[in-house]
Amino acid sequence: MSFFFQQLLNALQVGTMYALVSIGYTMVYGVLTMINFAHGDIFMVSSYFAFFFSIFFLRMTSHFPSFLVFPTIVLVTVILTSFLAIIIERLAYKPLGSASKFSAIITALSVGILLENLVLALIGPEPHQIPPLIPDVVYNLQGVAFSSFQVLILAVSFLCMYILDFIVYRTKVGMAMRAISFDKTVVPLMGVPVDRIIEVTFALGAAIAAVGGIIFGSVYSLDPYMGIRIGWWAFIAAVLGGIGNVRGAMIGGLILGGVEIFVVAYTTSAYRDFVAFAILLLLLVFRPTGILGKSQIKKV
């Protein structure tokens, strides 16, 4: 039984990471009805930001109180990643204007490949790992082992998800986002600055993915291509939950985390991707709107 609970804990950890990344997909889709294929690679870049800042701040421990290291790294990484997302939106997506949706898909795919190879060319293919940011203590509760860092990242992820949920459902900016996804033509007439809201959406999605990036980089190792797999899994999570719905993305992420961990735990890891994409394929064919999505009627 303790094996099951251990796996459940792992599933929770992986699932929250997917949830954090998939929120970015779902928010951008809600506002622009565009699949931001570059999101996984923005996540990858954020992980590299976290890596460099952690090395920088850990070298400066003599000038810097150690309990501030983790919050500072989170803050700096989140801000930088948001800026990166805004820059990408301004340079690549906004100039497309009202060009066809295919142009947007191709641009997003290209931005992703560009980021991957830029990182590969500038930093190299060697895997890195973020050094431990807080002293690691391992607790044991009736055969289920968990570390202090795991507790911290779970707390931080759920806090971030709560903050995001609050922004989307309780503030004026969030209301504007939901309004844009509801009706794009009328909303500008109501005095909503659409361009600004789109930028905020990209920034928020990237910011929450950056939190995921920090977690990923401290638990696993980072390499230029890691964004592809995580990005796709997070995207599947977003579709599973109903794309365009923030709470759906969180639920989808947790479910997919469970799928990944338990498939690997009870079969072999070779079938991990196969199972995930088979789920996606079946879902898109039989229930394209996902768990929390609303079905739409297409008009001529």
Partner 1 sequence: MTTKNIIQLSELDGKLKNKQWALAFALVILFTLTFLIPHYGLLNEYIQLTIIYIGINIIMALSQNMINGYMGDFSLGHASFMLIGAYVSSILTVWVFPNNWNPILTSIILFPVSVTAGGLAAALLSLIIAFPSFKTRGGYLALVTLAFNMICVSVVQNIEAIGGGRGFMGMEKLTTMPWVFIWVLIAVWVVRNFVYSNFGRGVVSIREDETAANLVSVNTKQVKVLTFVISSFLAGTGGALFAHVLLFITPKTFQLQKNVDFLVMVYLGGMGSIGGSILGAVTYTVILELLREALSILGTMPIFAGIPSLEVWRWVVAPLLLILLMIYRHEGIMGFREFGFIVPYRDRFGACFWLKKGRAN
How many residues make contact with partner 1 (CB under 8 A)? Answer: 41
With CB under 8 A as the contact rule, which of the stretches 18-26, 145-153, 201-209, 274-282 interacts with partner 1?
274-282
Written as six digits, the tokens of 59 are: 């070298």
Nearer to partner 1, 1 or 300 (CB): 300
Applying CB under 8 A, among 76, 79, 114, 192 the residue interacting with partner 1 is 114
What gap in Å lies between CA 48 and CA 230, rounded to an integer?
A: 15
The distance of closest approach from Cβ of residue 52 to partner 1 in the complex, given in angstroms and rounded to an integer, is: 19
What gap in Å lies between CA 203 and CA 82, rounded to an integer?
A: 4
What gap in Å lies between CA 18 and CA 11, rounded to an integer?
A: 10
What gap in Å lies between CA 94 and CA 265, rounded to an integer?
A: 44
Nearer to partner 1, 141 or 284 (CB): 284
Amino acid at 130: I
Please provide residue 146's backbone torsions phi and psi, each rounded to the nearest 5 degrees.
-145, 150
Q: Does 291 bind partner 1 (CB under 8 A)?
A: no
Nearer to partner 1, 3 or 274 (CB): 274
Return the sign of the alpha-carbon dihedral for residues 230, 225, 88, 209: positive
Q: Does 99 bind partner 1 (CB under 8 A)?
A: yes
Applying CB under 8 A, among 60, 68, 75, 106 the residue interacting with partner 1 is 106
Locate tokens 């929390």: which residue?
292
Give, for 147, the enclosing helix (H) or strand (E).
Answer: strand 144-147
Residues that bind partner 1 (CB under 8 A): 33-35, 92, 95-96, 99-103, 105-107, 109-111, 113-114, 117-118, 120-121, 124, 228, 232, 235, 239, 270-271, 273-274, 277-278, 280-281, 284-285, 288, 298, 300
